[in-house]
């Protein structure tokens, strides 16, 4: 009897889905027999967060706009901390580039690797996955997908599913007393596309994490009159420039005035909710969906990827992220090896014991430094089980810690700093223009040497 080739569906072609495509291709190139892999991506192109759209709300097909990118998005961590171990920045660009590239340049990098792998033909673009159902006796999934171009609905059957849809798409929108009386614009960071509109405005950002920080300094860069960030748990504590500061939680709004829990009040022109995102997987039945806050070890996933209740279902990139692209690689290689049966999954009890052990380790994480180390250890654990090239994770951790220290020194200039690649040993180039003075984020401008501009030392 002819054995049917296994069929695998990857849902989403952002960096996580692209890592999965690359992982299967790497196995195939080394002579392994690999399953039939189909990747569904609802956009017309891959790259997820790094594939920009100007649209907000819904896209031209009426689908929720993917992830939460903005025009002036620059990497908020050093590229040396996200570099792929088997496709380096030096290899892609042919020369050293700076440590904090803008969005288009990072898209170029991940696109370059995926193009080199020749995996585009496995992606069905403009295909939105609507439903995934598991037939228990047959041990197979039926996937219902809308072809958004042809306006048809298809169902296909798969043996295993890899969910790679990201978790920074569906905004967490809490309610605040009286916010309906605020006369100005109220948006969530998900809808933010550029800070130019906040020039000369008094802006309130609610939230105390990356989005508040970055949209705050972008707005300062673009000439906001005043930027106020309101935190719930604790201040971010950076040495903010004049015109930017932090206050505690909003208690209520009264028209354009926000009152804070410490008794002070301020008037604002616009509000951006930087209150994070929800894990939301509308195409999955509830018992297969991650239900977790944004953290480093969402519950229910063996080794952070394989759904405990049904180990034929896998998630990539479901964690909060210090490490990104190289973590997605480690996860993708591991999931691939589970699917190829190079790694034998232990029974449910042993898997649960492993989950519990890592949850205990995570519970002992007390600060950001420990969190970075925890994620480094998590990645090491995965890579040790696969043939993904091991890299010096301790050194990447040190890069993260240096990045955090740079941010403490000056939140406006940290992106001018340079780091050494852990993969190649190459020192990054100093960018031709300081980040605060750079108003053009294009790849073309980034890779050019503008006339009259020499490489400047970091400020
Ligand atoms: P995504 O990039 O979100 O990609 C998911 C893909 O799945 C999308 O293409 C989407 O269209 C597709 N999809 C979703 N649902 C369906 C469906 N039902 N059917 C078909 N396709 C579907 N990381 C860094 O390393 N550096 C940074 O500077 C950085 N900055 C960030 C800034 C912001 C504002 C945000 C939100 C994130 C940032 N990140 C950063 C983290 C970023 O999420 C990761 O770098 C990376 O993009 C995650 O990849 P992903 O593939 O898991 O998800
Ligand atoms: P995060 O990192 O998940 O942070 C969400 C923030 O929103 C965090 O500071 C929360 O406060 C805050 N929050 C959530 N609910 C509320 C309410 N009700 N009131 C006040 N504040 C609230 O999301 P980000 O968007 O900043 O970053 C996501 C990714 O984008 C990240 O990976 C970056 O690379 C870019 P808390 O601290 O929990 O008290």
Q: Per residue of the chain (459 residues), what is the pLDDT tens digit?
A: 556 899 999 999 999 999 999 999 999 999 999 999 999 999 999 999 999 999 999 999 999 999 999 998 999 999 999 999 999 999 999 999 999 999 999 999 999 999 999 999 999 999 999 999 999 999 999 999 999 999 999 999 999 999 999 999 999 999 999 999 999 999 999 999 999 999 999 999 999 999 999 999 999 999 999 999 999 999 999 999 999 999 999 999 999 999 999 999 999 999 999 999 999 999 999 999 999 999 999 999 999 999 999 999 999 999 999 999 999 999 999 999 999 999 999 999 999 999 999 999 999 999 999 999 999 999 999 999 999 999 999 999 999 999 999 999 999 999 999 999 999 999 999 999 999 999 999 999 999 976 555 444 444
Select from 354, 407, 404, 360 the least CA-distant residue to 382.
354
What pTM was estimated for this model as a whole? Answer: 0.96
119 alpha carbon – ligand 1 mean position (Å): 19
Phi and psi torsions of 330, nearest 5°: -60, -40
Question: From edge to edge, which strands make up the β-sheet containing 270-273?
Answer: 185-188, 270-273, 202-206, 226-230, 244-247
| Residue 207: other Cβ atoms inside 10 A | 24
Q: Whose CA is nearest to atom 25 of ligand 1?
A: 324
> CB within 8 A of 20, min separation 6: which ones?
10, 37, 39, 162, 164, 316, 332, 335, 336
Report domain extents, the chain.
Answer: 7-169+277-398, 179-273
Task: Give the ligand at the shortest distance from the Cα of 75.
Answer: 1
Name the token pair of 381. Answer: 């654990």
Q: Which atom of ligand 2 is nearest to the CA of 212?
A: 26
CA–CA gap between residue 364 and residue 350 (Å, rounded): 22
Q: Are strands 202-206 and 270-273 parallel, antiparallel or unpaired?
A: parallel
- Identify which of 56, 320, 110, 327 has the alpha carbon closest to the alpha carbon of residue 210: 320
Instruction: Please state the ipTM of this predicted complex.
Output: 0.98
Domain 179-273 fold is: FAD/NAD(P)-binding domain (3.50.50)
Q: Whose CA is nearest to atom 34 of ligand 2?
A: 210
Cβ–ligand 1 distance for 300 under 6 Å, the answer no
Q: What is the pLDDT of residue 459?
A: 42
The reply to whether 179-273 shares the fold of 7-169+277-398 is yes
Strand partners for 250: 260
Q: Give the pLDDT confidence score for residue 146 in this predicted structure.
A: 98
d(CA 210, CA 380): 25
Which ligand has an atom closest to residue 63 CA?
1
3-class DSSP state for residue 270? strand
Would you say how long the chain is, in residues? 459
Both tokens of 436, joined, read: 């605060």
The pLDDT score that the predictor gives to residue 148 is 98
Cβ pair 52, 14 in contact under 8 A: no
pLDDT of residue 457: 44
Residue 69 Cα: closest atom of ligand 1: 34
Whether residue 182 has its Cβ less than 6 Å from ligand 1:
no
Ligand 1 contact via 128 beta carbon (within 6 Å): yes
Which single residue is written with the structure tokens 């616009």? 270
CB 440 within 8 Å of CB 103: no
Residue nearest to atom 13 of ligand 2 (CA): 275
pLDDT of residue 282: 97
Ligand 1: which residue has its CA nearest to atom 53?
Answer: 166
State the maximum Cα–Cα separation within the chain, in Å, rounded to a whole number.
76
Query: What is the atom index within ligand 2 of the atom nearest the CA of 213?
Result: 26
Q: What's the 42 CA to ligand 1 centre distance in angstroms? A: 13
Note the CATH number of domain 7-169+277-398. Answer: 3.50.50.60
Structure tokens at 60: 């031209």
Residue having the nearest C-alpha atom to atom 9 of ligand 1: 48
Closest CA to 105 of 48, 180, 50, 46: 50
Q: Which ligand is nearest to the CA of 192?
A: 1
């Amino acid at each position: 009897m002819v054995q049917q080739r296994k069929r695998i569906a990857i849902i989403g072609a952002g960096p996580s889905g692209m890592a999965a495509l690359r992982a299967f291709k790497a196995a195939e190139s080394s002579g392994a027999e690999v399953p039939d892999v189909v990747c569904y991506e609802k956009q017309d192109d891959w790259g997820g967060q790094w594939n920009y759209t100007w649209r907000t709300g819904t896209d031209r097909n009426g689908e929720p706009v993917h992830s939460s990118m903005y025009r002036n998005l620059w990497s908020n961590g050093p590229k040396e901390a996200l570099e792929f171990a088997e496709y380096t920045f030096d290899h892609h660009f042919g020369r050293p580039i700076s440590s904090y590239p803008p969005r288009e340049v990072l898209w170029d990098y991940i696109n370059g690797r995926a193009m080199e792998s020749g995996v585009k033909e496995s992606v069905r673009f403009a295909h939105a996955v609507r439903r995934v159902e598991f037939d228990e006796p047959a041990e197979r999934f039926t996937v219902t997908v809308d072809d958004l171009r042809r306006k048809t609905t298809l169902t296909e059957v798969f043996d295993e599913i890899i969910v790679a849809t990201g978790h920074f798409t569906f905004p967490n929108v809490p309610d605040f007393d009286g916010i309906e009386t605020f006369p100005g614009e109220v948006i969530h960071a998900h809808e933010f596309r550029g800070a130019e509109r906040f020039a000369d405005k008094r802006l309130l950002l609610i939230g105390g994490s990356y989005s508040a920080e970055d949209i705050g300094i972008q707005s300062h860069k673009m000439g906001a009159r005043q930027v106020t960030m309101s935190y719930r748990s604790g201040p971010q504590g950076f040495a903010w420039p004049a015109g930017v500061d932090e206050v505690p939680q909003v208690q209520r709004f009264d028209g354009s005035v926000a009152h804070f829990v410490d008794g002070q009040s301020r008037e604002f022109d616009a509000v951006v909710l930087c209150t994070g995102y929800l894990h939301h997987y509308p195409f999955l039945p509830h018992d297969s969906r991650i239900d977790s806050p944004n953290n480093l070890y969402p519950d229910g996933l063996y080794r952070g990827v394989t759904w405990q209740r049904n180990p034929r279902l896998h998630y990539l990139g479901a964690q909060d992220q210090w490490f990104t692209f190289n973590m997605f690689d480690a996860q993708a290689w591991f999931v691939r090896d589970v699917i190829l049966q190079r790694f034998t999954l232990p029974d449910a009890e042993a898997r649960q014991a492993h989950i519990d052990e890592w949850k205990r380790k995570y519970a002992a994480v007390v600060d950001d430094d420990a969190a970075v180390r925890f994620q480094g250890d998590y990645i090491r654990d995965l890579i040790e089980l696969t043939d993904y090239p091991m890299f010096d994770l301790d050194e990447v951790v040190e890069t993260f810690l240096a990045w955090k220290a740079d941010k403490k020194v000056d939140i406006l200039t940290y992106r001018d700093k340079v780091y050494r690649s852990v993969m190649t040993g190459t020192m990054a180039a100093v960018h031709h223009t300081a980040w605060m003075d750079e108003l053009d984020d294009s790849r073309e401008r980034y890779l050019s040497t503008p006339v009259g501009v020499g490489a400047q030392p970091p400020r």
